[in-house]
Structure formats: C-alpha cells, structure tokens
Structure 1
C-alpha cells in the first residue's frame, strides 16, 4: 500500500509542477507587449485634407494593412497587452481618392479636420 501512495503523491506533484502557468507567482517580471503601428493624437493632428499618400506615410508610417481589393484605404492597428494580460486595441483608418487624403475614421480624429 505505501508504494501506491508514493506513486500517487508523485503523480500529483508532477501534475502541479506542470500546471505552473495557471498560477501567477508574485515578483515575476511581466513585460508589456505592443504590436502594430504606434499612432497617437499628435500624429493624427498633422493630417490635412488633400495630403498625398507619401505625406500621410511620412506622418503615420507604413500602414499595418493595405487592402489589395481596396487600395484607397489604409488601416493602422495597435494592440497592447499589459502586464496583467489585458489587451486593448486601437484602430485608425485613412481614405484616399486617387493620391489625395479625403477622410479618416477610428479612435482619433484630426483636430483641424473640417466638419
């Protein structure tokens, strides 16, 4: 009987040791993970109607998504996972007519934008 108890105790200990990811140990350093484009209000405020694609790319950077089927739309997406594991996502989209910026949408709006 004691051999069976030892085997069961060993199995329980092994199960607990492999399940460490279920527990959050105090003092363990967790980093903030950021993915995508970094866009902020100051950058968006620099946009003006009629800017060229090149000017928009200079201000906001290369878009994360350039839709092959809709070349007049660029999407900038930013995801941040904080140290607690909570994830937030922000999105900003610019629209063109040919080579001219005509509209924006998303979590920020340019301060000087008409309308």
Structure 2
C-alpha cells in the first residue's frame, strides 16, 4: 500500500509540471479599430485637395480635434491573439480648406509621379 501511495505521488508530482494554462488558451477575436487606409487611397491624396475631396477618398477621420481644426488623424490598430499586429496613422494638415501636407506612420509613402519606378531585371534562363 505504501508503494502504491509513493508511486501515485510521484506520478501526480510529475504531471503538475505540465500546466494546461500554458498551452491551452481561449480563442481571442481579432480587434480592428479605426480607419483602414490603403496604399491606393493614400496615393490618391495630393496637396491642394479640398476637405470634401479628401473625405470622399478616405472617409470621415477617426480623430477630429476641436482644438486643432486644421488637422485630421486617421488611425488604425489591429490586435491579433492579444498582441498588437498593426498600428498605422495618417495625419493630414490643412491650410484653410485645402490640404497642405501629410504625415504617415506605419504606412508606405506613395511614390511621386516624377520619380521613376524601380525596375528589377531577372537573369535570363536557358
């Protein structure tokens, strides 16, 4: 009987090292928050556009600060499995009713039309 209790205690002690909470977790939803700004829509934004033109392309800004009436912020944040997967921000500055400049964080800046596109030449195969 003693050997059975000893064997049982050794087995149960060994199983306590396997913590199910470490490898089993509840499902967590992906949580997108904010305005999604694609590279195509960002490329369509040009200085000199009016506020209504910008709103037509990008939609209503997420943050419209009453203390900074000439600034619009488009923020986007995506959390997957409880971890931050994507965090982007586009800030537009207006001078009166026209767009003066843009600032981006986490977004690829669009290539200007005057800049040549990068050309990749693959070696010829035989």
Same fold (TM over 0.5): yes
Q: Could you tell me whether the CA contact under 8 Å between 1:49 and 1:113 is conserved in 2?
A: no
Aligned to 1:110: 110
Is residue 53 from structure 1 mapped to residue 62 from structure 2 by the alignment?
no
Aligned to 2:83: 86
CA shift digits 1:32-76 (9 cap, x unpaired):
110010112111000111000000011111101011011100000
Structure 2 spans left out of the alignment, 5+ residues: 1-19, 115-126
Structure 1 residues 23 and 92 mapped into 2: Cα distance closer, same or farther (>3 Å)?
Answer: same
Q: Give how far 1:113 is off.
A: 7.8
TM-score w.r.t. the length of structure 2 is: 0.64
Aligned to 2:11: none
Which structure ranks higher in relative contact order (CA pairs < 8 Å, sequence separation ≥ 6)? 1
RMSD of aligned alpha carbons: 2.3
Q: Could you tell me whether the CA contact under 8 Å between 1:34 and 1:81 is conserved in 2?
A: yes
Query: SS in structure 2 opposite 1:35?
Result: strand
Structure 1 residues 30 and 82 mapped into 2: Cα distance closer, same or farther (>3 Å)?
Answer: same
Q: Could you tell me whether the CA contact under 8 Å between 1:96 and 1:103 is conserved in 2?
A: yes
Structure 1 spans left out of the alignment, 5+ residues: 1-19
Q: Could you tell me whether the CA contact under 8 Å between 1:48 and 1:113 is conserved in 2?
A: no
TM-score w.r.t. the length of structure 1 is: 0.70
Q: Kindly report structure 1 stretches of 4+ aligned residues shifted beyond 6 Å.
A: none
Count of equivalent residues? 92
